[in-house]
Homo-oligomer: A and B are copies of this chain.
Amino acid sequence: MDWVEGFTELCYGGDYNPEQWPEEVWHEDVALMREAGVNLVTLGVFAWSRLEPEPGRYDFGWLDRVLDLLHAGGIRVDLATPTASPPPWFSIVHPDALNIRHDLVRLTHGSRDTYCVSAPPYRQASVRIARALAERYRDHPALAMWHVHNEYGTWCHCDHVARSFRAWLQREYGTLAAVNDAWNTSFWSQHYSAWEQIMPPRATQYLPNPGQVLAFRRFLSDEMLAHFRAQRDVLRELTPGVPVTTNFVFGGWTPVNQWDWARETDLVAIDHYPAAGGAAAAEETAFAADLARSWAGGRPWLLMEQAPGMIHTPGRMISKRPGETIRHSLQHVARGSRGAMFFQWRASRGGAEQWHAGMVPHAGPDSRVFREIVELGRTLRTLGAHPGWADARVAAEVAIVWDPRAWWALESPGLPSADLDYLESVRQAHRVLYRHGVTVDFVPPSGDLSPYRAVLVPSLYLIADADARAMGDYVRGGGTLVVSYFSGVADEHGRARLGGHPGAFREVLGVRVEEFHPIGEPVELSTGDRGTAWSEHVRLTGAEAVATYRGPHPTGAELDGLPAVTVHRYGAGRALYLSTRLDDAGYARLLARAGLALSPADGLEVVRRTAPGEDWLFAVNHAERERELAAHGRDLLTGAAVEGGVSIPPGGHALLRLAGDQEPQTGV
């Protein structure tokens, strides 16, 4: 089945920036791409200054030749609009299109992404160049998809932004009174009496208003999305059949609300650069892939960028182990990606990312990196040739709630503890399940929970009433909900809920929290676990205690004997509450208590793909020893029948089609 118009195989390739190289290198590029099995390249992401060297004068000649050359080589093109980096002349002509910082310093060109997404000249120029590209290449046979912009995530605080922010607020809140109410502007005399008084959060004397900051983060996501949509609409108009995507940046921050963005793209695409090496990188890779699949909501998605070698990281770049690039790529594919793409094809000689890895590194094709690239190309071709599994759903019985808005709100400077770490809370939930072989989906707070046996809610600071009610309904209907500390305490605007914490979840959890006690030192629990960072004064209002705080509390609070972990039978289901942070082992015991069957995966990652009447197992062995995967069926790569199990060598992988209905089993 074509998952993208005319595309049945898995995508393989990367960003290709031929404008950095003399034309004779292009021919070597295509030859090497063919050697590596590359079938798709992302072209022109940063080519604006070469495509439009001066205002209004286009130079498409070189790009024509590149497209023709690629097409002749059988390589298709994910053609980019180059709006992530306007040329130097642009910011000379339109100084008001340069973004300004929180402290009102206007930035200067000299890097990339130095623009204001709300500035009319930049908006107009973006659409103009997108239209020019579409008009030029609408009929080029190499054109496979559109890649709008790059890693949306640039902020500005200028007066253009102020105007757009106010318009957004009017749409979002309707009235000024509603804004004042949502932001509780009566505090510190911030009451607005006219829309024009509202500013983006700029440098101010002391703590900013958290409601304003949260709204601004939400606005920024929507504002960048509007910039995306303007280009997308032009591209759809001119090339109706060509899918339009953009690559989401993700790591230690999230500039956009991916749930909203995914609805507006034809293909969800992510860039993924793990922040660590080894086992942690594999965990992070699974995490990113599961998020991407969940954002795509069942539609295809694509890993658009990863590093083919050393990961470009401030401080000290991260070396990739032998085979790691292949295993990461397969993890993404196992979890739903329709291929594996890289940044970039050929490592740059100069420029800010001259030490970013390339599929063809500085050392050239005679290198470990390129040899792995060739091997990966072969592997993807083989996998792609097997029918069925790539269109099959990834099977998941557990979901984790993911909400960028809660993350943004939890970055507020005035919270009880800077140790509250949304990303780490979510990552812990995912990591513990990953390490025990449980594949999970992510869901938005408003998502459909009915497909899942259990739903985890890690540190979901804010939630709307309706969403909390739906979660209650889910439990009443038989679901299991596991809520972690400091969840539900605020409404969707970030206002504290009154009457006892965790406001929105009080009823479903059957507890009432009187008071929070952030901690530096750990506190003992009756289970032998240790709670860190946080603790709460919990009273039972229906739930029963699973674990209690024990002994003296580091702050002197009197929690000895009071509940730390609770379970509440609610309707046909159960709701658990965790009022402190546990380590991974403790968190795993909590999930076991919630009824999840956990057994250590020990480095053998297995993902089940399921379609009506058919199941596959996709396995990647991260361990340094051979691992046995228990299954019955057929090993699609060797073609051998599998009776009972198959051995996977260290660093290796397998794709099995299961006979009948089986649960995967791992063993030594």
Contacts and interface: CB of A to CB of B under 8 A. Distances in A.
Interface of A: 17, 19-20, 46-50, 53-54, 82, 85-89, 92, 99, 101, 103-114, 154, 182-194, 196-199, 201-212, 277-278, 309-310, 312, 314-319, 321-322, 324, 347-355, 361-364, 366-369, 413-419, 493-501, 512-520, 537, 555-558
Nearest to A112: B188
Contacts of A351: 183-188, 190, 209-211
A516 B317 CA distance: 10
B112 A189 contact: yes
A321 B49 contact: no
A11 B198 CA distance: 39
How many copies of this kind of chain does the complex include? 3
A208 B101 CA distance: 16
A46 B189 contact: yes
Given A189-B87, A351-B210, A369-B515, A520 B204 contact: no
Nearest to A182: B350
Nearest to A352: B207
Given A310-B518, A322-B557, A363-B514, 17 more contacts: A47-B189, A54-B193, A85-B189, A89-B194, A108-B202, A110-B202, A183-B350, A314-B418, A318-B555, A349-B495, A352-B414, A355-B416, A362-B496, A362-B501, A364-B500, A367-B515, A369-B515
A21 to B, nearest CB: 8
Count chain B CB atoms within 10 A of each CB in A205, A319, A355 and give the residue with the most: A205
A556 B352 contact: no
Contacts of A497: 362
Q: Is the interface of A mostly helix, strand, loop or mixed?
A: loop
Nearest to A309: B515
A314 B418 CA distance: 8
B278 A556 contact: yes
Contact of A87 (B183, B193, B369, B496): B193
Contacts of A500: 362-364, 366
A204 B496 contact: no
Contacts of A413: 314, 352
Contact of A113 (B187, B205, B277, B514): B205
The 5 closest A-B pairs by CB, nearest first: A184-B350, A187-B351, A321-B556, A207-B352, A49-B191
A324 B363 contact: no
A354 B111 contact: no
Contacts of A498: 349, 362-364
Contacts of A199: 108-110
20 contacts: A88-B190, A92-B196, A105-B203, A108-B199, A109-B204, A187-B350, A187-B353, A210-B354, A278-B556, A316-B520, A318-B555, A319-B556, A322-B556, A322-B557, A349-B495, A354-B496, A355-B415, A362-B501, A363-B499, A368-B537
A347 B197 contact: no
A207 B416 contact: no
A55 to B, nearest CB: 10
A624 to B, nearest CB: 10
Contacts of A314: 413, 418
Contacts of A516: 310
Contacts of A555: 277, 318-319, 321
B48 A557 contact: no
Contacts of A204: 107-111, 114
Contacts of A415: 355
B368 A49 contact: no
B350 A496 contact: yes
Given A111-B208, A211-B350, A193 B557 contact: no
Contacts of A48: 189
Contacts of A193: 49, 53-54, 87-89
